[in-house]
Amino acid sequence: MFIRSHYLLWYVSPMKDRVLRIFSKLAEPVDAIMLVNDEEPIADASFFHATGAVSGLFENCSAFLYPDGGMKLITTRLEETSARSTPAEVLPYFTPAERAELMRSSLKGVARLGINSSAITYHWVKEIKAVAPGIELVDTASALIAARLVKDKVEIEAMREACRIASRVADRIPDLVQVGMAEYEAAAEIGYQMQRLGASSVSFETIAAFGPPSAEPHHSPDHTRLKEGDAALFDFGCKVRRYCSDITRTFFAGWADERMMRMYEVVLEAQRRAIEAVRPGALAREIDEAARSYIDSTELKGTLIHSTGHSLGINVHDGARLAPGSELVLEEGMAFTIEPGTYVPGVGGVRIEDDVVVTRNGCELLTDASKELRVI
């Protein structure tokens, strides 16, 4: 009993802190914030961030957050067991009429209600208006994203495990993939290996790109088969307790020509410079510039065609980018990918990606797979 109580105290505190952090980021005050999930795939990542619910879909369920850090969770009986693993006050319902009454009581005394405009559907706006006529709805989407950017110890620990799993699989790729294998086969094998190591799922559709398709950053795996001399680019990640990893490694089938070897060398150095620039107080655009300016100083100028990275967390793209023009100031606890690449259409591409969390004096590298140029 002592051990369970100790765990709950350790868990409840971060959840309350998350709610308080959300309210601290508001541009204007509200009396409560309502986060709601519709049916899959219309889910609100901020719902799961605020509640800390690890298991369950929570379709047609809603969370009410209050300025004192309190939280209510209106849930179907289907998700009640999962809901009770959170620190929220759990209010189960069986019928839509029961749900409406629970919403009405949760909104008692609330004149201004915050909603997440990027996730709520019009159906739920009508539900709110029906139970609380005259209530003022305030868009709090930016505060929810800002609060998610800084990760607490619970989140970072889940990401560390997700990154550990992805790193181990990345190191195994030369043994898992062989000449003649199709992209879709390689992608399936990578996902399988991550789940064998303890991941709950992949973070996103695994990218496996062989030869010229590796010059397309978001290539979808198809029937293309790996040939001798091809670049083989793999971009993948997994989830642990809902939190994501995201890693990219580029290999070569049998051998690499001088041009592709040079691309690899340039990308690796660009990534090293970007990682070195990560620290509290740095601007997001400065991290991008560290990688981009180096690539543009070489014969590969202009071949980095995306941002150098993005924030990472409960979503694989978690609300911010390391991109030209971004004035985001990095803070301790923020997590990002660092993923410069160079792409030559019709030839191939090279991308190297790792995940970092900002620390007091720099950053912690969460992914640690080898970056040595390797052949399959």
- 249: in domain: yes
Cis peptide before 41 (omega within 30 of 0): yes
Does residue 3 surpass a pLDDT of 80? no
Q: What is the Cα–Cα distance from 302 to 295, expressed in whole angstroms?
A: 8
- 375: in domain: no
Angle at the Cα of 227 from the Cα atoms of 225 and 229, rounded to 5 degrees: 145
How many domains does the chain fold into?
2
- 373: in domain: no
Using the Cα atoms of residue 312, residue 313, residue 317 and residue 320 in order, give the sign of their dihedral: negative
Beta bridge partners of residue 323, listed in sequence order: none
Residues 241 and 361 in one domain: yes
Place of tokens 């690899």: 264
- 97: in domain: yes
Q: What confidence tens digit (pLDDT) does each residue in 180-199 have?
A: 999 999 999 999 999 999 99
Q: How far is CA 283 from the centre of its chain?
A: 20
- 374: in domain: no
Residues 283 and 190 in one domain: yes
Q: Which domain holds residue 237?
A: 153-365
Residue 10 maps to which CATH number?
3.40.350.10
Which of 101, 128, 148 is the C-terminal boundary of a domain? 148
Note the pLDDT of residue 40: 86
Reading the block at residue 105, the tokens are: 């009581």
Does residue 8 surpass a pLDDT of 90? no
**pLDDT above 90 coverage of the chain, percent:** 95
- Please name the helix (run of DSSP H) or strand (run of DSSP E) that holds residue 232, with its range, or none: strand 231-236
Rounded alpha-carbon distances, angstroms, from residue 79 to 53, 63, 85, 210, 323:
10, 13, 10, 42, 39
Residues 122 and 229 in one domain: no
- 170: in domain: yes
- 325: in domain: yes
Residues 126 and 15 in one domain: yes
Q: What is the mean pLDDT of residues 297-313?
A: 98
Residues 265 and 354 in one domain: yes
Residues 144 and 169 in one domain: no
The secondary structure of 98-109 as a DSSP string is: HHHHHHHHHTTT
Angle at the Cα of 371 from the Cα atoms of 367 and 374, rounded to 5 degrees: 135
Burial environment of residue 330 by CB neighbours within 10 A (0 to 12, 13 to 18, 19 or more): buried
**pLDDT above 70 coverage of the chain, percent:** 97
Residue 168 maps to which CATH number?
3.90.230.10
Which of 128, 148, 168 is the C-terminal boundary of a domain? 148
Does residue 6 surpass a pLDDT of 60? no
